[in-house]
Amino acid sequence: MAESETPVQAIYAAGRWVGVCPTDYNGMTLELGQTRFECGSATGVGADGTTADIVWPADPAAIELELAAGGDPLAGGLYPFRLRAGEEGWVVETSGIVGGVVEDLLAGHPAGTISSRFHRTMAEVVVRGCEEIREAGGANAVALSGGTFQNLLLLQQVVELLSGKGFTVYRHRRVPANDGGLSLGQAVLAARAFEKASGHRHQAPAGEDLEPDA
C-alpha cells in the first residue's frame, strides 16, 4: 500500500470529524484518535490504496465544544465564579463553573446550551480580570494572545465585551496566537542575538501582527 507525503487534516463539520484524501478529494468520516487514513477505501477513487497520516488539532474536544454552542448564552444565566487577589495577580475560582456544568449535564440540558453558557462565562471572567487590573491602576489596553484565543467564539465575545467597556483591544492578525506564534518569537529573539554577536543586520518585514481591533 503506497504512502502519501501529504498528511490529512482532521476537520470537525456537521457534528463529525472528517478527512479529505489528497488523492481523491472525497471526505471520509474519521474515528477520534485515528492515526492513518486509507484513501479510496470507501469511495472507489484512488484505488492504488494510498494511505496518509492524520493531523489532529491539539485539543479536539475543545473544538467540538466550541462548535456545539447554540442558543442564547444568557438564557440560563452565567455560571458562578469569583476573582480573588493572589500574591502575583488575580486568581479565578472556578469550582462554581465546574459545578454548574455538571448540574446542567445531570439535568439533561443540551450540549449546545451548556457550551454557550460556558463560553460566555469564560468571556466574562477575562473581562472581569481586565477591569480589576484597570481599576488597580493598570493599562487600558489589552492584548489577547495564547492558545486560549484560538477559540474564535471566545475571542469574539471577549473583544465585543472589552470594546464595550472602553478597552483598546489587540489581537493577532497574521501570526498564530498559540505555540506557533511563540516559536516565531523565539526565532526572532535568536535572530536578534545573532545580529548583536555578528554585527549583521536583518531587515524585518513591514507591519505588525498585534493590531488594535478597532
Is residue 28, in this structure, part of any structural domain at all?
A: yes
How sure is the predictor about 97, in pLDDT bands with cuts at 50, 70 and 90?
A: very high
User: Does residue 5 surpass a pLDDT of 60?
Assistant: no
What is the extent of the structural domain holding 42? 8-56
Cβ(80)–Cβ(31) below 8 Å = no
pLDDT at 35: 75
pLDDT in tens, 36-56: 767 654 444 444 556 767 777
Report residue 54: phi and psi, to 5°: -105, 130
- Rounded mean pLDDT of 11-25? 64
Of all residues in the chain, what percent carry a pLDDT higher than 70? 69
Is residue 140, in this structure, part of any structural domain at all?
A: no
Q: State the DSSP string of 140-159.
A: SEEEE-SGGGG-HHHHHHHH
Is residue 40, in this structure, part of any structural domain at all?
A: yes
Is residue 154, in this structure, part of any structural domain at all?
A: no
pLDDT at 200: 67
118: which residues sit within 8 A by CB, 6+ positions away?
A: 65, 79, 97, 101
pLDDT at 124: 95
Is residue 46, in this structure, part of any structural domain at all?
A: yes
81 or 17, greater pLDDT? 81
**How many Å apart are CA 113 and CA 74, to the nearest integer?**
10
List for the chain the helix, strand, coil content (%; round to 5): 40, 20, 40
Buried-state track 138-163, b at ≥16 Cβ within 10 A, e below 16: eeeebebbebebbbebbbebbbebbe
pLDDT in tens, 177-208: 777 888 888 888 888 888 888 876 656 555 55
pLDDT at 158: 95
How sure is the predictor about 167, in pLDDT bands with cuts at 50, 70 and 90?
A: very high
pLDDT in tens, 118-155: 999 999 999 999 999 999 887 899 999 888 888 888 99
Q: Structural domain tally of the chain?
A: 1
pLDDT at 42: 45
Which of 2-16, 47-61, 65-79 is predicted most confidently? 65-79
Is residue 119, in this structure, part of any structural domain at all?
A: no
Is residue 37, in this structure, part of any structural domain at all?
A: yes
pLDDT at 196: 85
- Rounded mean pLDDT of 78-94? 89
Is residue 62, in this structure, part of any structural domain at all?
A: no
